[in-house]
Amino acid sequence: MPLLSADPTAFPAEPPADVHDHAVIAAHDWAAFSALDEMADHWARPDWSDGARAYYWMLAFRDEPELQALALRCQDALAPLGLDPVPADGLHITLARVGSPGTVAPARLDDLLRAAEPALPASFSVRAVPLAGSRGAVRLSLAPWEPLLRLHAALVQAGRATGLEPKKLTAVFRPHLSLAYNNRPRPAAPVAEAVAGLRALPSVEIQIRDVQLVELRREGRAYCWNVLKSLPLA
């Protein structure tokens, strides 16, 4: 598995000291978020304007009632901030961008799926550990990172073998699960203060049994997708 590296475009820019330890990962994410002065508008993205579409690898959680209940509890508590909550059926972990429908033919997606299927790791579980955030979202930390990094590396290798290698490699992957997107520039301190009051909530275990290749699209201030293929983990 590739070593993680520092990258100013990633958040946190520096990787945690230990990708296995829940406490280390949670503390590292929180330190990065609580050090922010300003939050940015998540939707101010020229490459992701309303209606934009792209193929992505992701982990979708449309049947995880405990995770959905935790998300709703956090979103209700944060409602006075006016963030854009991720709907219960939209909770996901973004893994890697594959390409756009205008540049990637369906036959190449079939090649990618054939390359990925035998390379996938065994199923595993992660915990959604205390709430934290980034420059543009409030999100749950995930731990351990190690199995997610192994999965990401397998998908990168499949992409490399079929000429669809993601631009962001595993070295700069920072696993997380967003619960609400920030929709305007604002001071970070009030958001961090609200989030801090929710960090004692119990964590939730998430079973990762398959990975989805999807066509992701932006609809206003939300993400939607169609699953093209779901591949079971070994």
pLDDT for 2: 59
At 46 the pLDDT is 84
Q: What is the largest CA-CA distance in the chain?
A: 49
Tracing tokens 């579980």 back to the chain, one arrives at 125
CA 177/CA 53 separation, integer angstroms: 20
Check residue 63 and give its pLDDT: 86
157: part of which helix (H) or strand (E)?
Answer: helix 146-161
pLDDT for the residue numbered 227? 97
Contact at 8 Å (CB) between 14 and 8? no
- Give the pLDDT of the chain (234 residues) as one tens digit per residue: 557 999 999 999 999 999 999 999 999 999 999 999 999 999 998 888 999 999 999 999 988 999 999 999 999 999 999 999 999 999 999 999 999 999 999 999 999 999 999 999 999 999 998 999 999 999 999 999 999 999 999 999 999 999 999 989 999 999 999 999 999 999 999 999 999 999 999 999 999 999 999 999 999 999 999 999 999 997
Residue 78's H or E segment, with its range, is helix 65-78
The predicted structure's pLDDT at residue 1: 53
Rounded Cα distance, 110 and 25, in Å: 36
The pLDDT, as a whole number, for residue 129 is 87
CB atoms within 10 A of CB 111: 16
144 upstream amide cis, omega within 30 of 0? yes
Fold of domain 22-232: Cyclic Phosphodiesterase; Chain: A, (3.90.1140)
Strands of the chain, DSSP E:
38-39, 53-60, 84-85, 92-99, 124-133, 137-143, 177-181, 186-187, 204-208, 210-218, 223-232
Q: Which residue has the tokens 């009632």?
A: 65
For residue 167, the model assigns a pLDDT of 87
**What single letter denotes the amino acid at residue 128?**
A
CB 128 within 8 Å of CB 141: yes
Peptide bond into 46 cis (omega under 30): no
Residue 187: how many other CB atoms lie within 10 Å: 11
